Amino acid sequence: MKVYIKSGCNGCGRCASACPEVFALDKSGLGYVHGPLIEETEDAVQLAIQRCGAQVIGIEKAPGGVPDIVWPRSG
């Protein structure tokens, strides 16, 4: 499983507040995934998904659609 943030992040920072082990804000203030989804962070990731002001965070459970940003972040 992979955590992703689709385009449309509004930079509210709720993801990083809810789960700093997985989410952070880049230099422009937008959220990105910087850590893996592991058992110890699952509850906090779910909280980040619920709190996301733009509703752009998700979990890719099966191979398929390509999210805009996945872990590990390149570039």
- The tens place of each residue's pLDDT in the chain, 75 residues long, gives 789 999 999 999 999 999 999 999 999 999 999 998 898 999 999 999 999 999 999 998 766 555 544 444 444
Tokens 């992979």 belong to 2
**What pTM was computed for the model?**
0.79
Number of compact structural domains in the chain: 1
Q: What are phi and psi of 66, to 5 degrees?
A: -95, 110
In a domain, 31, yes or no: yes
In a domain, 66, yes or no: no
In a domain, 70, yes or no: no
| CATH code for the domain in which residue 6 is found | 3.30.70.20
Q: Please give the helix or strand (H or E) that residue 60 lies within, else none.
A: strand 57-60
Question: 54 lies in which domain range?
Answer: 2-60
Asked if residue 12 lies in contact with residue 66, where contact means CB atoms within 8 angstroms, the answer is: no
Which tokens belong to 18? 């809810």
Looking at residue 69, the DSSP 8-state letter turns out to be S
Which amino acid, 6? K
